[in-house]
Structures are given as structure tokens and as C-alpha cells.
């Protein structure tokens, strides 16, 4: 798809998102994809793992992890790639993968042997996805890693106590505000 069209539709683009203050692009970019293959891969990944993860966290916890993983994954992308165009829900989806890892970390003393084996395989799958991402220039691995880390944190915190979802939300909002305050000065040094 044409990059100019994607930017006009709301893709992440540092000069507009950060410099011009169009922060809404952090959200809109999560709903844009570079074509049918990109959309189908993301939706298939979400289908495979999403519903199961939602059962662990309830709807509010799941939505919080998904949303903040996508938003902060977008901020990681803006930090690492100041002048690139960013689209897709991969940061949010990696956040859901991370949430599952966080859940198992929070409950590791209660986990059965076969589940531990599954988690090792799951970690390998995440690693393979990241390696593949590094080998394809158009894949924004920084958004994937940012989303993954936010998801691990959310999964761990909310798995320990589902009522802590509000504290997690507050910390994520403060983290976003911090990034949004820092990035313009970083962009001034990088772009100009």
C-alpha cells in the first residue's frame, strides 16, 4: 500500500505524531495494515491466543494489556524509527503473548510440568518471531518488543491480583505521558 495513503489514513509517522502532536495516530495505526496478508496474519495470531488469554485476565485486564501494549509499542517504534511509517496491531498482539508469559511467571510455583514445557516452547516461538522480524526490513521489531514487555508486566501484575488492573492502567498512562514529553526533544535532535 502507498505510504502517503497510510499516513493520510492515520499511520504512525514521527514528524506528524510527535512534532505536530498528532498523538491519536498511536491508536489509529493499530487498525491499519499494509495489505490483506498483514491483516490476516495479525488476526489469525490474535484468534489463536486471544480468547484463551482473555479467560486468564477477564475482559478489562485483557483490553488494558492489549491497548497499552499497542500504544506503548507504537511509542517504542517512534523512538527507534523517528521518520518511518508504522502500522499494524503487532505490538498489541505481542503484548497478549507477553501477558501469557507474565501470567505463568506470576504462578510459576503452581504450574505443572507439562505447562512448563509448553511455556519453553512458547518462548521459542516468540524468539523465532522476533528473529524473523529482524530479518524482514519492513517489520517493526521495536513495536513488537515494546508491546511484549508491556504485556509481560501487565500479565504478571494482573495475574497476581486482578484488582491491580487500575494500578497497571495508571502506570501505563504515566509512562505514556513521560514518553510523549520526552520524544519531542529527542526528535528535535534527530530530525533537525
Q: Is 135 a catalytic residue?
A: no
**pTM greater than 0.85:** yes
pLDDT digits (tens, 9 = 90+) for 86-102: 999 999 999 999 999 99
pLDDT digits (tens, 9 = 90+) for 128-167: 888 887 788 878 899 999 999 999 999 999 999 999 999 9
Q: Three cell numbers at 118?
A: 509448553
Q: Is 90 a catalytic residue?
A: yes
Task: Give the model's pLDDT for residue 187.
Answer: 77
Distances (CA, A) of 186 to 71, 73, 77: 18, 17, 13
Rounded to the nearest angstrom, the gap between the alpha carbon of residue 8 and the centroid of all alpha carbons in its chain is 22
> Which residue of the set 64, 77, 90, 142 is catalytic?
90
> Which residue of the set 33, 77, 142, 144 is catalytic?
144
Task: Give the model's pLDDT for residue 114.
Answer: 67
Q: Report how far residue 77's alpha carbon sits from residue 72's, in angstroms, rounded to the nearest whole number.
A: 8
Amino acid at each position: 500500500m502507498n505510504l502517503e495513503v497510510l499516513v493520510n489514513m492515520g499511520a504512525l509517522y514521527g514528524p506528524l505524531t510527535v512534532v505536530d502532536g498528532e498523538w491519536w495516530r498511536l491508536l489509529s495505526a493499530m487498525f491499519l495494515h499494509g495489505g490483506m496478508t498483514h491483516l490476516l496474519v495479525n488476526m489469525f495470531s490474535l484468534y489463536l491466543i486471544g480468547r484463551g488469554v482473555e479467560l486468564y485476565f477477564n475482559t478489562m485486564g485483557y483490553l488494558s494489556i492489549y491497548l497499552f501494549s499497542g500504544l506503548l509499542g507504537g511509542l517504542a517504534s517512534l523512538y527507534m524509527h523517528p521518520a518511518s511509517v508504522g502500522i499494524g496491531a503487532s505490538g498489541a498482539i505481542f503484548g497478549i503473548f507477553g501477558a501469557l508469559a507474565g501470567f505463568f511467571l506470576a504462578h510459576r510455583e503452581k504450574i505443572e510440568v507439562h505447562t512448563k514445557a509448553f511455556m519453553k516452547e512458547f518462548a521459542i516461538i516468540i524468539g523465532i518471531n522476533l528473529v524473523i522480524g529482524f530479518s524482514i526490513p519492513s517489520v517493526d521489531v521495536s513495536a513488537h518488543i515494546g508491546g511484549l514487555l508491556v504485556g509481560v508486566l501487565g500479565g504478571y501484575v494482573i495475574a497476581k491480583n486482578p484488582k491491580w488492573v487500575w494500578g497497571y492502567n495508571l502506570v501505563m498512562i504515566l509512562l505514556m505521558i513521560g514518553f510523549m514529553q520526552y520524544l519531542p526533544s529527542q526528535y528535535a535532535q534527530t530530525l533537525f
